[in-house]
Amino acid sequence: DAGVIQSPRHEVTEMGQEVTLRCKPISGHDYLFWYRQTMMRGLELLIYFNNNVPIDDSGMPEDRFSAKMPNASFSTLKIQPSEPRDSAVYFCASSYERGGLDEQFFGPGTRLTVL
């Protein structure tokens, strides 16, 4: 398997623009996670899905952020409008549970810079 795939790898945009990040989880995994990582706050869970259904979105900062998972092989994280404080690395991860162990497999991340 190719692992978790994210696109784009780098995104530079101007404040106020819409940003869409994409993720393809590992085939057969039933959990998908979106994280944001910054130096100050570390790795923060934004939202996660189980079988394409959003389970916990309490980490989504505000209404400017939205996430969808229309099918088992694709998810998007959208920021509209973007702000400079959204600059961070956004990771997508997927997992499946077996006997209690469900380590997460992370994609390479999208480095977002909002000017």
Partner 1 sequence: GQNIDQPTEMTATEGAIVQINCTYQTSGFNGLFWYQQHAGEAPTFLSYNVLDGLEEKGRFSSFLSRSKGYSYLLLKELQMKDSASYLCAVRDILSGGYQKVTFGIGTKLQVIP
Q: Which residues bind partner 1 (CB under 8 A)?
A: 33, 35, 41-45, 48, 50, 55-56, 91, 100-101, 103-109
> What is the nearest approach in angstroms of partner 1 to the Cβ of residue 56?
6
By beta-carbon proximity to partner 1, the closer residue of 17 and 38 is 38
> What is the nearest approach in angstroms of partner 1 to the Cβ of residue 88?
14
By beta-carbon proximity to partner 1, the closer residue of 56 and 83 is 56
Sequential DSSP letters for 35-99: EEEETTTEEEEEEEEETTEEEE-TT--STTEEEEEEETTEEEEEESS--GGG-EEEEEEEE--BT
> What is the nearest approach in angstroms of partner 1 to the Cβ of residue 55?
5
C-alpha 29 chain-centroid distance: 15
Compute the C-alpha angle 84/22/31, nearest 5°. 115
By beta-carbon proximity to partner 1, the closer residue of 25 and 107 is 107
